[in-house]
DNA sequence: GCGACAG
DNA sequence: ATCTTGTCGC
């Protein structure tokens, strides 16, 4: 599956931020998802002191969650890690991995945020938009937003809001994601809309892909491939 | 000026 | 993210 060439990647940080502000208007936050038979997990790792980026895509069937296809690529790292600009470090490598797939997935779970981002355009949204595929951001830690802790049961979640809640708790701030407990006794995950998926669906799909561990099986498989095992 | 800060 | 020892849980 090939990405739409909406822009180049050789950008300075300021240009990258301007691009995000421009593209965020094209993110779809409502469901436009067809039959989901294949779910892709994506993760990226680094080698040689960070000079080489290793991106992996693991495609699992649904609802079986068995690995049906995989792709791994190694490319030179060309952008530093800057909070809020993760796309420009990881996306080129991830898209190269997607280009190697024989069959396009129906849904993508990315290890990072979607619209729960300073400019509402995290890497999960960026990847989903360029591939024109429904996508969900599933991050292990917070980038922006405030929230309460969800109850300690699988499936419990609390909204992730864009700004501090008023002293009396009646603030009407924008909800940019959810904090989801995928398993009792472990740290919750940060789930947000990537592209073409509602937050409710994002939560449902994330749970559907998460069976016995903290992270979705899609993410676990991709991480395994990206770290070379 | 001082923290916060996906991976 | 990556590096790494010790420790806890299943």
Report whether CATH 2.60.40.10 matches the domain A34-226: no
**C1' of B4 to CA of A162 (Å):** 15
Per-domain residue ranges of chain A:
34-226
Question: Tens place of pLDDT for every residue, chain A, 229 residues?
Answer: 999 999 999 999 999 999 999 999 999 999 999 999 999 999 999 998 899 999 999 999 999 999 999 999 999 999 999 999 999 999 999 999 999 999 999 999 999 999 999 999 999 999 999 999 999 999 999 999 999 999 999 999 999 998 655 444 444 578 999 999 999 989 999 999 999 999 999 999 999 999 999 999 999 999 999 987 7
Average pLDDT of chain A to the nearest whole number: 93
- Establish whether the CB of A188 is closer than 7 Å to any nucleic acid atom in strand B: no
The DSSP element (H or E) to which A225 belongs, if any, is: helix A217-226
Nucleotides in chain C near protein beta carbons (<7 Å): 1-2
Q: Which protein residues have their Cβ less than 7 angstroms from some atom of strand C?
A: A 44-46, 50, 140, 226-227
Of residues A105, A126, A125, A119, the one with CA closest to residue A35: A105
Does the CB of A159 sit below 7 A from strand B? no
A46: nearest nucleotide, CA–C1' criterion: C1
Per-residue model confidence (pLDDT) at position A158 = 95
CB contact burial A9-19 (16+ within 10 A = b; e otherwise) = eeeeeeebbeb
**Chain segment A172-189, per-residue pLDDT in tens:** 578 999 999 999 989 999
C1’ B3 / CA A111, Å: 26
Read off the pLDDT of residues A138-168 as tens digits, 9 standing for 90 and up: 999 999 999 999 999 999 999 999 865 544 4
Q: What is the per-residue pLDDT for A169?
A: 46
- pLDDT reported for residue A163: 62
**Residue A109, CB, strand B, below 7 Å:** no
> Cβ of A24 < 7 Å from strand B?
no
Determine the distance between A144 (CA) and B4 (C1') in angstroms. Answer: 9
From residue A143, alpha-carbon distances to A68, A117, A201, A206, A212 in Å are: 32, 7, 21, 19, 25
Give the Cα separation of A192 and A113 in Å (integer): 6
Any idea what DSSP says for residue A37? Answer: -
């Amino acid at each position: 599956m090939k990405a739409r060439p909406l822009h180049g990647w050789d950008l300075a940080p300021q240009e990258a931020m301007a691009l995000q502000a421009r593209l965020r208007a094209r993110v779809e936050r409502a469901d436009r998802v067809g039959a989901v038979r294949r779910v892709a997990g994506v993760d990226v790792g680094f080698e040689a002191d960070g000079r080489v980026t290793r991106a992996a895509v693991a495609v699992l069937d649904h609802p079986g969650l068995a690995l049906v296809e995989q792709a791994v690529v190694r490319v030179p790292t060309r952008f530093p890690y800057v909070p809020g600009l993760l796309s420009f470090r990881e996306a080129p490598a991830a898209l190269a991995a997607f280009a190697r797939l024989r069959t396009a997935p129906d849904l993508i779970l990315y290890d990072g945020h979607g619209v729960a981002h300073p400019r509402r355009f995290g890497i999960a949204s960026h990847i989903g938009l360029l591939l024109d595929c429904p996508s969900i951001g599933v991050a292990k830690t917070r980038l922006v937003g405030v929230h309460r802790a969800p109850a300690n049961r699988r499936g419990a979640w609390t909204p992730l809001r864009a700004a501090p809640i008023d002293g009396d708790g009646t603030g009407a701030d924008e909800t940019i994601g959810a904090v989801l407990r995928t398993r009792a006794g472990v740290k919750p995950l940060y789930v947000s809309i990537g592209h073409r998926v509602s937050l409710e669906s994002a939560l449902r799909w994330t749970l559907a892909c998460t069976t016995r561990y903290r992270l979705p099986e899609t993410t676990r498989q991709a991480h395994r491939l990206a770290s070379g095992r």
